[in-house]
Structures are given as structure tokens and as C-alpha cells.
Structure 1
Amino acid sequence: MSQYQRLLLVIDPAARHSPAILRAAALARASRAALHIAALLKPAAILALFDHKTGAEARERHRLEHRHWLQEQVQRLRGQGVTVSGEVAWADDLLEEILQHVAELEPDLLIKDVQHEPALKRAFLTPMDWHLLRQCPVPLYLVGREGHALPRKVVAAVDPSRPESRHNGLNERIIDAANSLALQCDAELHLLHACDVSSVYLGDAGGGGLTLADLTHELRTTLERAFLELAERYGVPPERRHFILGQPVTVLARFVAEQQADVLVMGRVHRQGLEKLVGSTTEHALYQLPCSLLAL
């Protein structure tokens, strides 16, 4: 049985060439899952310039235009063998509307196009996709600009250096989800750890006269051993195990580009204080990746 029974796709109906529609339809067809498309409209600011009656009529014409377009997409996908439904609705608070749809439909996966935001804007306002990464209660599939409709190469990004990942089973859940997706799509599964030794606390790594270089080498050896044990446990072939030194976001972005990966599977960690303000590795990687991101 497929791990996916019900998929929720959220789109902006004004973006008629959404890559997420193609990816969601391909995944629904491969997994035999039911797909629901929620086309959410934000009230246009210009409508506020009209009087109440004229504005209401303009809003309804706008909604009906997009509903007609969505009905055409639904009929086309049904003709391709996809079990699909759709709706067009106004969303004064887009985040709240998305989370409400998730609560009501309880999908196995929420699918959405990546909403690219300039770095300057991100410095002042938390991007919508960051809010979803922090608040969405189900796995979140953010569709990037590149990649095949149905994934051919799936990369699971794990981190054996973090104690919380070892204790709460996050690494295992990441591999399980990536492996299930790969099996569903007949894709290759790769395992990756971007090892940034400088960011790991060295206080418990040793001592007794060892130099910093000795400590760094010892820590790297320990982390690589933990990574290989994880790969061995899940039967990942040696040629698909990648232990790479470097800053995580840079390593992840370069690796998926060089490997032409379709999906990178990562974990979401709840942040507090300053970390919540500046964003996590997963949140920053989102805007550097050419491929899609599946976040657990």
C-alpha cells in the first residue's frame, strides 16, 4: 500500500503555469492517492477602491473566472487517471486558510510551489513558506523550479551530529520517508550528511593534550562512523552514501545541483529565540535549492 492516500495541493490560481500541479498530479497517479486542489485567492487591493456593491460583483467575477480555469484542470487530470477534486476560495489570511484546510482534510502531504522572497524582504518579514515549515502539522512538499514530474533521484539529508536527532528518531524518519518516496516513484535513494565540524560543540570530544586539529579529526571520524552505520542499517549502497565537509546550506545546494536530484528530504526542527528569527538550515536551504524540498 502507498504511504500516500490523500494529497492536498495549494496553488495561487493567478500562476497558471504552476510546477506544483504537474508534480502533484504525477505523484497522485503513481501512488493512487486522491488529490484535492485548493486555489486560494488573496483579495486584490484594488477591489477596495470600489464601492461595496461594485467591489462584491468584481470579486465574484474574479472568482468565477478562476473556478472555470480550475474546472478545466480537474477534468484534464481526471482524463489522465487522477482522482482529483478542486475548489476556489478567498483567503484574507493565507497562512490561516492553508492550515485550516490541512486540519479539515488531514492530508498525508501538503504540496505547494516555493514562494521565492528577496533576501532583503526576508530580513523584515518571515516568509510564508517559513511559517509553513514551522507550523504545518503534516509533511510539507515545496516544489522547486527544476526536476522531473515524478522524482528519479531522492536525497535524504541526515545529521548524526545533533543529539536531538539521534534521540527523537528524526534521522530514521527522514530516511523512511525518502525511501518510501523513492520506492513509490522508482527513483534512486541517496544519503547525505553535510558535516560542518566547526559548528559542533567540541567540549566532550576529547582533550588530554590534543590539539584542535586532533579534536577536529577525531570528531569527523566519529561522525562519519555514525553516518556509515546509519547507511548500513538501511542498506544504502556505498556509491549512494555521501559524507561531505562544509557549510550545510552550501553543501546541500551544490550537491543536489551536481547530482541533478529531484527532491531533498530534510527534517524540521522547532527553534526558539534568535534561531527562530534567523531561520534554520532547512529554511535557508529552501531558497538555495534548484530542486523540491520535502520537510518532515
Structure 2
Amino acid sequence: MKGHFKNILCVLNDTHKQDEVVAQAIHIAKNHQAELTIMLALEALPPNANMIMQSFSYLESSNTMGAAANDWLQDQIAGWSRQYPMSGVVCVGHSFVDIISKVVNDEHDLVIKLSESAFVERLFNSDDMHLFRKCPCPVWVIHRGQTDQYKNVVAAIDLNYHYPAHEVSVRKKLNLDILRYSAQIALLEFAQLHIVHVFDAVPENILRDGFISVDEDAMERDLAKIHLERENELERLLFELQKELKPGVLEYLQPHAHLVHGYPRREISATAKSLGADAIVMGTISRLGVPGFIMGGTAEETIQHLKCAVIGIKPEGFITPVNTKKKAVK
């Protein structure tokens, strides 16, 4: 069943206070009995580095940095391995490309890393976003100081199936995958599972700007119909999940459903915050059925406002747009 990890890649972007992300990776690897690799991913020196560091050639500086980084990592792994067996690898290049290449070439099924941004209001910087957009396996991004055992796990799903038939099929599979991963995390963390779906009858910006007039009574009736439609879709989705789980597991989880009327880009993160979410599982691309399609505005804006761990997953059949053939990490 999806949601069970076998080959985890824990990414470090520097050597500063990395114990907590490694501890979280060890925690997850132990729960899943998975292989664990620690990857120190460093950006290459700029091409004009030899002009700045006049006492060294560019090549010597680059090689020295790689060797020193490898020595540091092996030193750290000697200590971390007392808690759980792991291997280590250093790459010096273009971080997110090297990470994705490692995932593809070594068949990792989870990437876990710390958010790189230090700004509270913008928790995920461009490298994190690149991974959410382009990494083919789930990406689990956490924050410093938020690596304790989770109490509340949120599955953010989109039950709007008013799309072409081929796209609806992909959306339904992605929703089920989101529930699979969320259920596994909630079970292993002994956490409460929340299922969140935000729906809107008429986009808020159209109403606010007065582009159309709306009969309030008719809109309330439409909202009631949509609410019932989404309730029924969620019930079908949970029935599919129940068939995959062992008897009694879904009853043990007792997932709490939250069907919220509002603007998805705002209400998903607001609802997660109100629930005290420690982690949220969500799809990280918008229009589906297109291999390699980049992450959509709703997902990206939602992630920017979240203050909990985010586990971003792709739909079945997603193909990374990154060229991994020439970037294999060994």
C-alpha cells in the first residue's frame, strides 16, 4: 500500500544544526523499517571563484570543498548510525537537480529535508519549491524546532470532479494516495487524522469585484448541493481506503472530515492552523494528467502560508521535467 516508505533520502543543505532533521529521518525510517541515506547537497562554487580566492585555483577549491564535506559527513554518520544504520553521499553542484537525480537513479520513495528559509512569513524558498514541483517521489519538508511527534495530521484533498473524464480519474487516484499517506503517518505517529476539503460556488474575487450579480438564496441552495456532493465523494473515497486497510484500522483512526466553504488558497492553510496541524499531506500540482506539469497557484500559495510540516505528493504517472541522465549522483 502506498504510504509505506522503503528507501528514504534525507537531504542536508549545510552543516549547521542538522541533528534534528536527521533525528526525524531516523524516526520515520525506524517506523517504516526503511533504508536511509543522508545526502549533503552543496551548491557548486561560482565560475569566477578563482578570481575571488586568488590563492587557490577553482578546481582545487572545488575538490577541497567536496573532500572536506565528505569527511564531515562521514564523521557525523559515525555518530548518527548508533541510532539507525545509514549511508552517506555528498554532491556539489545544483542542489535540487542533484537531489532529483539521486531519487530517480537510486529509486528513493521519500525525500525529507529542513525548510531552508529563515523568514517566518515565507517558509519555503525556491529550492524547496523546485522539489515540490519536480521531484517524482513525496517530499517531506519540516521546520526547525517542529520535529516532535505529530498529534494532528491533515489530508488536504480536492473533491471537485467537474473536469474531463481522463482528468477526473487522475484526481481520484491522487486523492486516494493523499489519504493513504496521511493514514500511514497518523497511524505511525498515533495522531488524529483530519480530512480537509475547501469548496467555493463562485470565486470570491468575482463576487468582490462585482463582475456578476448573485441571487443569495439560489447560491445557498447551490452550496448545499455542492456540500452534499462532496460528502458523498468523500464517503466513496473512504470506502476505497477501508478496503485496503486491515479490518478495524479506519475505525481506529476515526478521521475527522472538514468540508469548508471558502477560498481554497486561504482556507486550506487557515483550517490546518485552526486544527493545530503538525503535518499536512497534499498534492503539489494543479491541472492533472500532464506529465511534468508544474505546481499550481493554489498549492503553492497554500504552502507559503503553512507553518507545519508539508508532505507533497504527485499523481500517478508524473514524470519529472529534470534531465537526470547526466546528473546521476554516485
2:219 is matched with which residue?
212
The one of the two structures with greater contact order (alpha-carbon pairs below 8 A, sep at least 6) is 2
SS of equivalent residue, structure 1 residue 156: strand
Structure 1 gap ranges (5+)? 201-209
1:247 is matched with which residue?
263
2:317 is matched with which residue?
none
* Count of matched residue positions in the alignment of Structure 1 and Structure 2: 282
Matches within 5 A, 1:104-183: 104-116=105-117, 127-145=126-144, 147-163=146-162, 166-168=168-170, 169-183=173-187
Structure 2 residue 281 is the aligned partner of structure 1 residue 282: no
1:26 is matched with which residue?
27
CA distance, structure 1, for counterparts of residue 187 and residue 298 of structure 2: 27
1:47 is matched with which residue?
49
- For 2:9, give the aligned amino acid: L
The match for 1:262 among 278, 282, 289 is 278
Structure 1 residues 52 and 97, CA, compared in 2 at 3 Å: closer, same or farther?
Answer: farther
Percent identity for Structure 1 against Structure 2? 23
TM-score of the two chains, using structure 1 as the length reference: 0.79
State the 1:294 CA deviation.
0.9
CA distance, structure 2, for counterparts of residue 9 and residue 109 of structure 1: 8
- For 2:177, give the aligned amino acid: R
SS of equivalent residue, structure 2 residue 305: coil
- For 2:10, give the aligned amino acid: L
Structure 2 residue 209 is the aligned partner of structure 1 residue 193: no
SS of equivalent residue, structure 1 residue 249: helix
CA distance, structure 1, for counterparts of residue 227 and residue 81 of structure 2: 52
State the 1:266 CA deviation.
0.7
Q: Point out the structure with the larger helix share.
A: 1
1:11-59 alpha-carbon deviations (Å, 9 max, x no partner): 2124434743232121112222111111011124473423594433333
SS of equivalent residue, structure 1 residue 4: coil
- For 1:167, give the aligned amino acid: S
Q: Answer whether contact 2:112 2:140 (CA < 8 A) is retained.
A: yes
Q: Answer whether contact 2:141 2:309 (CA < 8 A) is retained.
A: yes
Q: Answer whether contact 2:12 2:18 (CA < 8 A) is retained.
A: no
1:173-229 alpha-carbon deviations (Å, 9 max, x no partner): 1111111222233332221112233249xxxxxxxxx83343233223322343345
SS of equivalent residue, structure 2 residue 147: coil
**Cα RMSD between the aligned structures?**
3.6
Structure 1 residues 12 and 69, CA, compared in 2 at 3 Å: closer, same or farther?
Answer: same
Structure 2 gap ranges (5+)? 205-216, 243-249, 314-330
SS of equivalent residue, structure 1 residue 138: coil
